[in-house]
Chain A
């Protein structure tokens, strides 16, 4: 028996998790939800938003106290709850808020002591540090575990060539974790700082996630010091991808919860033929299906995160959750639009924005490492 008692899946949140949730939900209600639609229409991050998100303290939580952080052990379950609650306000802004955390978490997880000491204290200061991770590539045949972007050793440096796409905060990030393959075909992660020669950043125009302002990054013989290769052991790309899948699933759950809350209220108030449209089975069943699918998405995500937090293998669970959440996030987005009818199509309601954003879930990899 490998699954002993401590694999029992307990859904009771701890006091800490509950208190954290209260704070994050309050931030979401006050500082994300009201900004989401205007920001989407403008395709711009609201002025000062990331600075306010930093005051929440998400990024400095796992950083050791000696480096200025709160020194709380990295907790995938708490991070999943945070991502879910932030995405209830807006998927783009939630993803942008946790992008620096993905950088920090991966550095804590797989970086060297020297890299942590050099790079982490800046995240504990007063100002927001735009940091991000770059895994995805634009090739049609792209497979996240086999990046085409290459890093070739040349003396005391590595030379990076290739293209990364859908990089959150990609225009501004002065700290990037770029996933590339070595000459040995092994994957590795490189810390790219500032504005090195050969790096070109191009703003992307996407269907959704417009507020996030993702970028395509071209690396044309970009040189980084050999000491900027993350960690001493080979980079565990699978673990990085699995942990980021959990983050993406949680973001999907949060946005889908927003859809469910919205359609429930809307359909109970919308009167046709003399009664609320929820009195029609075709409407009620559709809402019930959203609730069922959403709960399954959430449970799969929480379970995988719970295993990750306990140090148990969670690769399979994270993969299953990602596939399930990717498919159902799209379906819930579509159903949300359908339930609102014409109102789901127009910009008076946030539904069309959620629909566009939820399309992205199955495309995203490597962005929200929890």
Chain B
């Protein structure tokens, strides 16, 4: 069974991001970039399937400029067998990403595609679902557990009321939630070995996709700074201030 995993290069989750002075975007100059944590979970799950003998090959795909090869290499160091980069410039919206991934899916014919449920930069939570619609493949989103049984895939999802279990026919699409697994870290020798694993680069044209833009980012602003609070002497004073100053009760 072939597994395709999508990985995205995003600002590291430890970084406190700032808006650019002109408000056009988040300032990414000299900022540490990493693999999106949900994508890392997706890679880990694919590698576990391979270690269990269920998967035969794990392919990591990323969409972006040359820099995203670093995240593909991270996925290769974690245990993916080969990488694919679809080279694009600037930011691409979820629909375009889904179309490009569809192109890769058609080329590689994986039985299972695992994506992160969302990326921590845009928080769109759309790509997996769009890919499902475009490829007409069944989808199990927000997976906290998956199990392969023949050509069926059981996906446990975290929903508001508890856990929901779906049975999907493969080929299928899964998006990973936080609790799907706890990713390992790549050992130092594996990081070096990852350099020798094959990495193919495609252009959108190779996949027959035209990169178009339907969304425009109007402005990026930091959240309003919280005003300092005050200390009150008594409950009466608190109630009074909540009633008359803050006007919340």
Contact = CB atoms under 8 A, between A and B. Distances in A.
Contacts of A57: 187-190
Contacts of A69: 189
Nearest to B70: A15
B72 interface: no
Interface stretch (A1-9, A16-24, A42-50, A308-316): A16-24
B77 interface: yes
B189 A23 contact: no
A58 interface: yes
Interface string B161-193: 000000000000000000000000111111111
B73 interface: yes
Contacts of A60: 189
Interface in A51-65: 55-58, 60-61
B155 to A, nearest CB: 28
Contacts of B34: 22
A27 interface: yes
A72 interface: yes
A347 interface: no
A70 B192 contact: yes
Contacts of A19: 70, 73-74, 77, 186, 191
B185 A58 contact: no
B201 to A, nearest CB: 17
B73 A23 contact: no
A23 B186 contact: yes
Contacts of A26: 185
Main secondary structure of the interface of B (DSSP, over half): helix
A61 B191 CA distance: 10
Contacts of A15: 70
Interface residues of B, number: 14
Contacts of B185: 22-23, 26-27
Contacts of A27: 185
A72 B74 CA distance: 18
A16 B187 contact: no
A76 to B, nearest CB: 15
A190 to B, nearest CB: 29
A55 B185 CA distance: 10
A61 B192 contact: yes
Interface string B62-91: 000000001001100100000000000000
Nearest to B187: A57
A61 B189 CA distance: 6
A176 B77 CA distance: 33
Contact of A20 (B70, B191, B193): B191
B64 to A, nearest CB: 16
Nearest to A31: B185
A16 B187 CA distance: 12
A129 to B, nearest CB: 16
Interface string B181-215: 00001111111110000000000000000000000
B101 to A, nearest CB: 25
A307 to B, nearest CB: 23
A70 B189 contact: yes
Nearest to A70: B189
Contacts of B193: 70
A271 B185 CA distance: 38
16 contacts: A19-B77, A20-B188, A22-B34, A22-B185, A23-B186, A23-B187, A23-B188, A24-B188, A58-B188, A61-B188, A61-B192, A70-B188, A70-B189, A70-B193, A72-B189, A72-B192
Going nearest first, the 10 A-B pairs with the smallest beta carbon separation are: A70-B189, A57-B187, A57-B189, A57-B188, A26-B185, A23-B185, A19-B191, A70-B192, A72-B192, A23-B186
Given A19-B186, A56-B187, A58-B188, 20 more contacts: A16-B192, A19-B70, A19-B74, A19-B77, A19-B191, A20-B188, A20-B191, A22-B34, A23-B185, A23-B186, A23-B188, A23-B191, A24-B188, A26-B185, A55-B187, A57-B188, A57-B189, A60-B189, A69-B189, A72-B192
